[in-house]
Structure 1
Amino acid sequence: MKLHFQQVDVFSTEPFKGNPLAVVTGADSLTDAQMAAIANWTNLSETSFLLKPSSPEADYRVRIFTPHSELPFAGHPTLGSAHVWQTLSHTSEKGPEKDLIVQECAAGLVPIRKLAGGLAFAAPPRRRCGPASEEERNRALQALRLNADDVLDIQWADNGPGWLVLHLTDREAVLAIQPDWAALVGQKLGVVGKWEKEPAASGACFEVRALVGENPGYEDPVTGSLNASIAQWLIESGKAPERYTAFQGTALGRAGRVSIEKQGDDIWVGGAVVTRIDGTIAL
């Protein structure tokens, strides 16, 4: 059996500077075990599988796997999957590109719209928010080798993957972090700090890092789900304007750019998506 396969670069227009995503389309015939095996084999942070929707409101359904588990929602797989679905639909008999796409995933229905040069999804509700406990704070500080006075606040900002977020004083403090990977096991930590000197013509900017304590631990290059929940927290608390740009991947030599914009009750999280590999996967 052969299925259509694409690998896309999300959140950057520079070749190989975003976050890669593997996408398998027409995956309805695959078992859970086959999806898990493919995701483990691609060894990317996420692999997504496009299926027929079960909701009449959705254009497609997606299942998102890391090399080790399945996620109810993730940001760069949402934009990457929508890009692949839209590309294939536009080149088939289904008709022209849609201005609004509705994705079905385990977290529910997620609207996705076209942007100039990319796509944006509406941030889903957080499953957990609010201050971290003293024990959670101490574990996070130990894992990131930080002192309490290095941090402005620590809050849960989890929309599925399990993010606990540390708000630091500035961008330089974010980039200076050298994690203790052994202490980080079992935690998923986001870190955010404001640019003191904002890049010319780009408005308010924040630096973001995503540190995942799986075994082995790793840093995710550019993370849509984390940026979505950070934006919800910072905007509603008045710590960020309703429109800004998040930079991510700097510490890894990447050039991730995530656009954040609040419109009405929704916060839209957007960026570029570019196809880098297009072919088939054989099972």
Structure 2
Amino acid sequence: MLPFRQVDVFSDQPLLGNPVAVVHDADDLSDEQMEAFARWTNLSETTFLLRPRSATADYRLRIFTPGGELPFAGHPTLGSAHAWLEAGGVPRNEGEVVQECGAGDVVVRRGERLAFAGPPLLHDGPLDDATLEVAARALEVVPGEVVEAAWIDNGPGWLGLLLRDPDAVRACRLDAAAAGDLMIGVVGIGPDGEVEVRAFCPSIGVPEDPVTGSLNAGIAAWLVGSRLPSSYVAAQGAALGRKGRVHVDVEGGTVWVGGDTLTTVVGDVALG
């Protein structure tokens, strides 16, 4: 039996954020056991806390979707840091936790709420016309509603579509077959500063992710300074009955993505 927590991320109210399943002390689990448990939970992500290999990290994290492993993801980073601290983890440096994952070391700072430093973009720049056409068709978006489009991949593979306004984001409808292996994030900005985000990733077994830290980090790296201010709050999850709120701050070129975290389930899990 291994200690287990399920943490709701990006909401200060239970059951309205994005849950992540966190297994503690997972060093002796095989890849197959981790993959099987992630399929069984059927959450957008399930994580496993292990001893760090990096001399600068407090713990190592492996992140799985129902469809496979990711090098980095945002809400699992915040939820796992919350679980590690709640279970008695003591960070090397006061005021921050350093997580080792497939994308390298990620800093999570502690304050009013946990916030991670978004990793650098691995793939950026404008989308080619063919990819843009596929992405728009997959979400039933009229091409004229796309204001701007770019690669904003910081690990999972995101591309971003900026739509004309939040209502256009809320109107998106996914055709999973048409999306293929694309990881599509959409964002709309209202005249009053309202920011609405949705994330579609059917190729990894998650048709729509409720609230998505990595995508929001990529959006900020893309649009802050041109279309978004250096500090704002994005809404995500309404289409799935959630009320996610993602707090974004860009400081000195670093994108900080923060959110409230709440433990909803504590227990032990048998993966044997």
Which residue, 178, 181, 191 being the options, matches 1:183? Answer: 178
- The answer to whether residue 143 in structure 2 is matched with residue 148 in structure 1 is yes
Question: Secondary structure of the residue that 2:203 maps to in structure 1?
Answer: coil
**Structure 1 residue aligned with 2:18:** 19
- Deviation of residue 165 (structure 1)? 0.7
**Structure 1 residue aligned with 2:219:** 230
- The answer to whether residue 238 in structure 2 is matched with residue 250 in structure 1 is yes
The separation in 2 between residues aligned to 1:58 and 1:65, in whole angstroms, is: 20
Question: Secondary structure of the residue that 1:27 maps to in structure 2?
Answer: coil
Unaligned runs of 5+ in 2: none
**Structure 2 residue aligned with 1:139:** 134
Which residue, 85, 88, 97 being the options, matches 1:101? Answer: 97
Alignment of 1:1-283 (within 5 A): 2-89=1-88, 94=90, 98-116=94-112, 118-197=113-192, 204-214=193-203, 218-236=207-225, 238-282=226-270, 283=272
CA contact (8 A) 2:95 2:110 kept: yes
- Deviation of residue 23 (structure 1)? 0.2
Report the TM-score, using the length of structure 2 for normalisation.
Answer: 0.96
- Deviation of residue 98 (structure 1)? 3.9
Instruction: Name the stretch that deviates more: 214-223 or 153-162.
Output: 214-223
* Residues paired across the two proteins, number: 271
Task: Return closer, same or farther for 1:260/1:128 CA change in 2, 3 Å cut-off.
Answer: same
Question: Secondary structure of the residue that 1:111 maps to in structure 2?
Answer: strand
AA at the equivalent of 2:109:
R
AA at the equivalent of 2:61:
V
AA at the equivalent of 1:277:
V
RMSD after superposition: 1.6
AA at the equivalent of 2:86:
T
The separation in 2 between residues aligned to 1:95 and 1:143, in whole angstroms, is: 43
Task: Return closer, same or farther for 1:277/1:97 CA change in 2, 3 Å cut-off.
Answer: farther
Unaligned runs of 5+ in 1: 198-203
- Deviation of residue 216 (structure 1)? 5.9
Q: Per-residue CA shift, 1:146-184, capped at 9, x if unaligned?
A: 222111011000111111110011111110112222212
AA at the equivalent of 1:178:
R
- Deviation of residue 96 (structure 1)? 10
Q: Per-residue CA shift, 1:21-75, capped at 9, x if unaligned?
A: 0000100001111111111111111000000000110000000001110000000
The separation in 1 between residues aligned to 2:119 and 2:235, in whole angstroms, is: 21
Question: Secondary structure of the residue that 2:223 maps to in structure 1?
Answer: helix
AA at the equivalent of 1:89:
G
AA at the equivalent of 1:222:
V
